[in-house]
């Protein structure tokens, strides 16, 4: 069976719901607690590539901290945004699930079903 990795924040209801969908399918994912161990620049770049998104796609752009740090500025670079994600992991747009079938930001949590090798139920 294809392994599934979940970039998880236990305090986030969407993240907990996504984990429940994965487990309902009989899969125990590799859980990455990105708050306890912030992702490296390379890991963040890899996620962007897997998701097919720009760096801003990995970020909670509506969070007040995003604007406070000037990340919404037109002259802010992707490098500066990646640095901010490493320094402030709460800006990470979670949850993110990755499997051999693809990667998804799981908002809504049901989005994870698109990349599970087995459907729940």
Task: Report the distance separating Cα 99 and Cα 91, nearest Å.
Answer: 23
Q: Are 8 and 31 in contact (CB under 8 A)?
A: yes
Task: Report the distance separating Cα 57 and Cα 70, nearest Å.
Answer: 16
Q: Is 12 a catalytic residue?
A: yes
**Count of residues for the chain?**
121
Structure-block tokens of residue 103: 């990667």
Active site residues: 12
């Amino acid at each position: 069976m294809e392994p599934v990795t979940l970039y998880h924040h236990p305090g986030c209801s969407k993240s907990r719901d996504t984990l429940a969908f994965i487990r309902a399918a009989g899969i125990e994912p590799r859980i990455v607690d990105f708050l306890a161990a912030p992702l490296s620049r390379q890991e963040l770049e890899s996620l962007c590539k897997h998701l097919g998104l720009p760096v801003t796609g990995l970020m909670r752009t509506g969070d007040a901290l995003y604007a406070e740090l000037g990340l919404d500025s037109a002259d802010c670079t992707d490098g500066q945004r990646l640095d901010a994600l490493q320094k402030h992991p709460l800006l990470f747009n979670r949850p993110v699930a990755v499997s051999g079938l693809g990667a998804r930001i799981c908002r809504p949590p049901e989005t994870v079903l698109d990349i599970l090798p087995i459907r729940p139920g």
